[in-house]
Amino acid sequence: MANFFKASDKKTTQAKIKSNIMIDIDKLDMNGCGVGHYQNKPIFIDGCLPQEKVEVRLIEQKNKFYRGRLLKVNVASSKRVKVQCQHFGLCGGCDLQPLDYKEQLVFKQKKVTELLSRSGIVHNIISQLPWQEPIVSQPWHYRRKARIGVQFDKKSQAIIGFRQKATNQLVPIKSCPTLVKPLSDIFPILQTVIAKLNVKKAVGHVEVIYTHGENDQDIVTVVIRQLKALNEQDRSLWLAYAKQHRWQVVFDLGKDKFEQVNDHQELTYGLADNIDINFTNDDFIQVNQDVNKAMIKQAMDWLTLVPNDRLLDLFCGLGNFSLPIAKKIEQVIGVEGVQTMVDKAKANATNNQLDNCQFYQADLNSIWLKQSWAKNNFTKVLLDPARAGAELAVSQLAQLAVGTILYVSCDPATLARDSQILLAKGYKIVKIGLIDMFSQTKHVETMILFCK
């Protein structure tokens, strides 16, 4: 718990809180927060960049560090750019907005390198990482799926937006420039319709999804989480707004129950080679469509696929990697922990007329080597785990004696841990590259190719 200034030292406390201080920013920490020093302790200040001189007010102290609130940038970094979002500094997203986009990529690459260095991989095992060109897209208007929070103030007025940093309180959002343009200005419309509802506090949150339909038609799907039974008056109101704005509306009734209330096109996104992935509103998909396509292409290139390859795809989801790869090789086995995702991956294979890929359910954080699907003499492996990584999975992969493993990671800390296991088993890092799925944010995705 934070240790705030204590009232027992009243004069000192007031002086510290009221007196602004000047700080030189030395670097960014792993979260993109500016770091300087004050009274021989590090001080962390959001919104600052290295080589800046800033005016700060102290807001928190602990035994080993301070936190400050940025008041003014007196000497700005040459890498500083004008922020694009009016809510920067209040909304908890997009920590890196003041940093030039090319420098954001430099920061993220250094972050991954540092975490691998802390694990003893860089310098101890290899002298230098074989970095490749990063996968990028446009730095704004890239996000096609988002959950929008709904809270109510003391006057029962709805607050529609995203969380403030390190709190559960929402920032009221008017527009979000990271969302694709059909979604970015939806907040005031949601504010209006919720204000007119008969039972306002029945809405828990709203999820928005953008897809393409027939003839490349824009489709916006709005999913309303209902905390209470939906009455006909409110249903009619949502439907009226849906008709006006050409939304598909789904009510999330909880316990995996959903109600579609107007005409719907199936949610689908396209990949290369005429692959279509069908999904439902509660499925995980990669939110950056352009980066996802480039990521799949790079994975296939790095794996140097040949027609007689047999690939194991762990944490396969809906078949995002499995299906495009299946068009190129002899066989793909996809494994996923959730049975409903396995069922949908099978359906996607059938819809795309692919009969050389099979999908299985298994807890990949358990012992699975004795499963029948694990005995297929795989030539290559691809894995794309969640943030928790794949510690037990990679330990077992080493026993399969597969020469090539491609690891797609959304958390560099667990990637570093899992990489240690593979390197200790005789693999080496042949290629590594950033995947900038979430520009303007501290989040880093990485692809590493391991070979025996």
Phi, psi of 115 (to 5 degrees): -70, -35
Q: Does residue 91 have an active-site annotation?
A: no
Cα–Cα distance list, 212 to 132, 221, 290 (Å): 31, 11, 13
* Sequence-distant (≥ 6) Cβ neighbours of residue 320 within 8 angstroms: 271, 277, 285, 286, 292, 296, 384
The one catalytic residue among 85, 316, 410, 451: 410
Inter-residue contact 380 to 311 (CB < 8 Å): yes
Q: Please give the Cα distance from 64 to 48 (Å, whole number).
A: 20
- Inter-residue long-range contacts of 26-33, CB under 8 Å, 24+ positions, other chains counted: 26/50, 28/107, 30/111, 30/114, 30/115, 30/442, 31/95, 31/442, 32/95, 32/96, 32/99, 32/107, 32/441, 32/442, 33/95
Q: Please give the Cα distance from 383 to 385 (Å, whole number).
A: 6
Inter-residue contact 334 to 316 (CB < 8 Å): yes
The identity of residue 235, as a single letter, is: R
Q: Any idea which residues carry the catalytic annotation?
A: 410
